[in-house]
């Protein structure tokens, strides 16, 4: 059984993160409050808050507004503009794949990578 708490609404896979188990337990386990929120001076990940808390969706790929302005503007601030746009596009593609095959099968693919 795969851990859906490692499949956040943003299109990343927490299981592949270098911080998982050390500074973070995965977005689902911490209810959208991973370690970096404190560093960014926010109480909760804005994508998690919008998607899960406000819209009651499992992930952004299920939202009719994808890619919204929030989604397009939300990325690792250490990335260059070009890297950021690639990251946003990659997350969007992952979410569309996840929507098509379902979260369980998507996680199985991510675990194999």
- How many residues appear in the chain? 113
Task: Dump pLDDT digits (tens) for 33-60.
Answer: 998 998 889 999 999 999 999 999 999 9
Task: Dump pLDDT digits (tens) for 79-93.
Answer: 999 999 999 999 999
Q: What is the mean pLDDT of the chain?
A: 93
Instruction: For the chain, give every domain's residue range.
Output: 4-112
Beta-carbon contacts of 26 under 8 Å, excluding residues fewer than 6 positions away, are 3, 5, 6, 8, 14, 15, 20, 34
The answer to whether the peptide bond before residue 67 is cis (omega within 30 degrees of 0) is yes
Is the pLDDT confidence value at 1 over 50?
no
As a whole-number percent, the residues of the chain with pLDDT over 70 amount to 98
């Amino acid at each position: 059984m795969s851990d859906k708490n490692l499949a956040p609404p943003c299109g990343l896979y927490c299981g592949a993160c270098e911080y998982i188990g050390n500074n973070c337990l995965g977005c689902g386990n911490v209810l959208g409050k991973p370690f970096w929120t404190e560093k960014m001076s926010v109480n909760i990940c804005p994508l998690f808050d919008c998607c899960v808390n406000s819209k009651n969706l499992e992930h952004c790929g299920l939202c009719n507004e994808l890619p919204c302005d929030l989604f397009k503007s939300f990325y690792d601030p250490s990335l260059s503009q070009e890297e950021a746009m690639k990251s946003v596009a990659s997350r969007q593609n992952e979410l569309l794949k996840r929507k098509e095959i379902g979260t369980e099968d998507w996680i199985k693919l991510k675990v194999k990578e």
